[in-house]
C-alpha cells in the first residue's frame, strides 16, 4: 500500500512517528506543544479535540495515540498519580467509536484492553542497553517479540536531566543508570535527531513502531486485496 497515511497523536518530537515512517507510512503528527526537531508535518494543537473530529481521523489509514502516562507509571509516586489526567480510557473509546485502524501506546500497568494488547521490549528490538517495556493495543492483530531483558544494567532516560548516576528501587535492586548527556541518551535509544533531554525522556524508540507499523501495513495490504 503505497502512500498509506498515519496520524500520530501526542507525538512529541517524533519517536513513534519516525518508526512508522521507516515501516512505510506517510506520517502527520499532533502535539499540544511545538517541537522544532519533529521531522514531519506537525499540527500544533490539542489531540483530545482532534479525537472528536471523526471525519478527520477517518481521512488517515491508521491513527496512533500515546496519551500521557504519568498516572500509570511506576516512576510516579503512588500518592501523586491522581494528580495526573486519566486520558487513556477516553482515547480508547474515541478511537474505537471512530472506526478504522488504530494503535494506542502506554506503560505497563495502564488499563489497556488485554485481548488487544502486546508488550514490546527494547532489548528485543535490538537496543542492548535500553529495556523500556511498552504496551501497544490495536484493533489490528499484533505479535509481540517477547522480553529479551538480561542481567546487564540498562541505561534509563527519564527525569529532567542527564547525570550518569545509578538509581535503585526501594528493595535495593537497580533501576539502571542515566546517560551522561543528551547525545549518549540518543545513542542508547537509537534516536539521532532529538536535541532535548525532555523529548528523549518522553520518546518511544522508533524501532518499536517500525516493528508494529510493518505488521499493520501488512494487514492493510491484505485487506486491500481481499
Q: Report the alpha-carbon distance of residue 9 to residue 49 in Å, rounded.
A: 11
> What is the per-residue pLDDT across 98-132, written as a single tens digit (0 to 9) for each?
999 999 999 998 899 999 999 999 999 999 889 88
Q: 97 or 69, which is more confident?
A: 97
Average pLDDT, integer, range 168-172: 62
Q: Output DSSP code: residue 146.
A: B
Residues in a beta bridge with 137: 104, 117
> Domain tally for the chain?
1
Q: Is the pLDDT of residue 199 over 80?
A: yes
Residue 206 in grid coordinates: 522508533
- Phi-psi map region of 37: left, alpha, beta (phi>0 left; psi -120 to 50 alpha): alpha
How high is the pLDDT of residue 172? Answer: 63
How high is the pLDDT of residue 79? Answer: 63
Domain that holds residue 75: 5-225
Helical segments of 73-131, H only: 88-98
Q: Establish how many alpha carbons lie within 13 A of residue 52's alpha carbon, considering only the half-sphere containing its beta carbon.
A: 4
CATH number for 20: 3.40.50.150
Amino acid at each position: 500500500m503505497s502512500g498509506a497515511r498515519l496520524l500520530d497523536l501526542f507525538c512529541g518530537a517524533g519517536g513513534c512517528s519516525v518508526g512508522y515512517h521507516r515501516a512505510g507510512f506517510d506520517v502527520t503528527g499532533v502535539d499540544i506543544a511545538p517541537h522544532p526537531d519533529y521531522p514531519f508535518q506537525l499540527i500544533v494543537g490539542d489531540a483530545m479535540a482532534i479525537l472528536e473530529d471523526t471525519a478527520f481521523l477517518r481521512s488517515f489509514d491508521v491513527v496512533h495515540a500515546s496519551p500521557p502516562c504519568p498516572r500509570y507509571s511506576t516512576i510516579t509516586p503512588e500518592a501523586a498519580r491522581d494528580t495526573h489526567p486519566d486520558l487513556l480510557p477516553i482515547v480508547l473509546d474515541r478511537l474505537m467509536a471512530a472506526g478504522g485502524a488504530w494503535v494506542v501506546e502506554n506503560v505497563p500497568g495502564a488499563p489497556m484492553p488485554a485481548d488487544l494488547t502486546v508488550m514490546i521490549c527494547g532489548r528485543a528490538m535490538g537496543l542492548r542497553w535500553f529495556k523500556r517495556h511498552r504496551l501497544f493495543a490495536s484493533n489490528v492483530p499484533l505479535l509481540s517479540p517477547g522480553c529479551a531483558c538480561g542481567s546487564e544494567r540498562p541505561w534509563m532516560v527519564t527525569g529532567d536531566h542527564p547525570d550518569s548516576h545509578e538509581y535503585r528501587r526501594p528493595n535495593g535492586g537497580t533501576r539502571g543508570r542515566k546517560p551522561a548527556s543528551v547525545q549518549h541518551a540518543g545513542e542508547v535509544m537509537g534516536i539521532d535527531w532529538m536535541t532535548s533531554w525532555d523529548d528523549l525522556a518522553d520518546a518511544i524508540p522508533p524501532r518499536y513502531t517500525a516493528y508494529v507499523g510493518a505488521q499493520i501495513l501488512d494487514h492493510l495490504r491484505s485487506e486491500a486485496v481481499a
